[in-house]
Amino acid sequence: MKLLLTSALLLSTALLSAAEPVKPLDIGSRWELFVDSQLIASRSGVALKLHEPVRREVVLVTDQPWEGPTCGYFSAIQDGKKVRLYYRGSAGGSDHSEDQVTCVVESEDGIHFTRPKLGLIEAGGTKANNVIWRGVESHNFAAFLDTNPATKPAERYKALGGVKQPGKNWMTGETPGGLYAFASADGLHWNKMRPETVMTKGAFDSQNIAFWDAPKNRYTSYTRIFTNKIRDIQSSPSTDFLAWGEASLNQYAAEVPREHFYTSATIPCPTAPHLYLAFPKRYTPARKKVAEHKFPGVSDTVFMTSRDGLNWDRSFLEAWLRPGPDPLNWTDRNNMVASGIIETGPGEWSLYASEHYRYPDHRIRRLSLRKQGFASVHADARGGEFVTPPLTFNGEKLLLNYATSGTGSVQVEIQDAEGQALPGFALADMPELYGDEFEAAVAWKKGPGVSSLIGKPVRLRIVMKDADLYALRFAR
């Protein structure tokens, strides 16, 4: 767990009051996560804090004859009570091998997975396997559950898969080949949506993902491209999953270092789809920790966010998932986080990461973290506070996802846009809130109701001691 100190935020409330009027940020009734500084206009004694995931149990070892030590590019999908992991079955060899297969495992809880015996495609000398596709497209077949309300029943599941042909300019997408679009009614029986590729401008030699982007009412893809020989990420829009618009490179602040992002694992946040989350596998090709290993390179995973899908916040430059003490995770292409977040319990989200790449026990491990708990505003035992910019909202009560120690606390004061406490909502009107809750209703002496303030510009002053605030929402 790490702290981020941002000097640009060291502004006093008095200076804010004297500044030029700011157009209020309308947060409606949606969840807002404290993964960046958007809701922090001034602060004192608090900082943004990154929370690392907890490594849990190994959920899959890819030890079947049709799988192998170079399986990769996992996608996690939750469809009702069923959880599926899709991945490439590969024992090594060319990226263009037609012998690559796409596999699936299933679970009822996101923890205990089994291989269904599908009888669809012969692999490893049998059809009693979990293979759903064979061919070069399996190199990076990336599936998702289409939540587009207008999608056809036969296309509830969709996927992208395919590679570029070798050649002088393959890194910039100039050679033949590209990504194909796939669809399935049940996630097991798949067909190409058309025989031709649907996307050609990219390198694509990685996991290329897509999803229904509800706030934009379209599909969005995030795919591999190289810029100046650096592994990079580009996004493209589509209204029908077949015709894709011009690609745009991910943008970062000028001071953010250029790094190889091998995958992106980009998804809309499950509880806040206006917020994009990404878990890029950061690749350092020049390093070699295990001398006897044949290949160079070490990898970890970082965490970044975006509010428009194009401009990405790197408030946390450090690793979100480190290789850890296991030496077999310090070899190339490990610690790759699967695309997708699974709810595995009340208040618990799970992701999945690969380990032991190129080793006989190549495997997938579950990672867990608090619901919405990627980062927080943190105050230590000395206490601190922060003030939001002017906000408008549409809700009857304020909910907090927070945690304190036994002696810690959180208090909220609602101010007018100029920073003056509103009658009945001052700090002195709110009893200290303490505990560990995911949706705690804030109550002042008059009660939790805030409907009288709907549509009016307000600021929140949040005073904390030995506490973390992960997210807030004005709920209807």
Cα R_g (the chain), whole angstroms: 24
What is the dotted CATH code of the domain comprising 2-49+375-475?
Answer: 2.60.120.260
pTM, entire model: 0.94
Write phi, then psi, for 332 (nearest 5 degrees): -65, 145
Q: Is 77 within 8 Å of 341 (Cβ atoms)?
A: no
- pLDDT for 36 equals 98
Residues in contact with 17: Cβ distance below 8 Å, sequence separation at least 6, in sequence order: 418, 419
Q: Count Cβ atoms below 10 Å from residue 49 Cβ, excluding itself.
A: 18
- pLDDT for 20 equals 58
Q: Is 325 within 8 Å of 300 (Cβ atoms)?
A: no
- pLDDT for 46 equals 98
Q: Count Cβ atoms below 10 Å from residue 440 Cβ, excluding itself.
A: 18
Whose CA is closest to 74, among 144, 133, 171, 148? 144
Look up the CATH architecture of domain 54-370: 5 Propeller (2.115)
287 forms beta bridges with none
- pLDDT for 169 equals 84
What whole-number distance in Å separates Cα of residue 262 and Cα of residue 201? Answer: 17
What whole-number distance in Å separates Cα of residue 71 and Cα of residue 102? Answer: 9
Which pairing describes strands 384-387 and 42-44: parallel, antiparallel, or unpaired? antiparallel
- pLDDT for 16 equals 44
Q: Residue 272: how many CA atoms within 13 Å on its side-chain side?
A: 25
List, run by run, the mean pLDDT of 10-residue segments along the chain (476 residues): 42 45 91 98 98 98 96 97 96 88 98 98 96 97 98 98 90 91 98 98 97 98 96 98 98 97 98 98 97 97 98 98 98 97 97 97 98 98 98 98 98 97 97 98 95 97 98 96
Each domain of the chain, given as residue ranges in start order, spans: 2-49+375-475, 54-370
Q: Is 32 within 8 Å of 473 (Cβ atoms)?
A: yes
- pLDDT for 12 equals 41
Which pairing describes strands 363-370 and 375-379: parallel, antiparallel, or unpaired? unpaired
- pLDDT for 93 equals 83
Joined tokens for residue 129: 């396997």
Q: How far apart are the first and last CA of the chain?
A: 33
What whole-number distance in Å separates Cα of residue 464 and Cα of residue 135? Answer: 56
What amino acid is encoded at 38 in this protein? Q
What whole-number distance in Å separates Cα of residue 342 and Cα of residue 351? Answer: 6
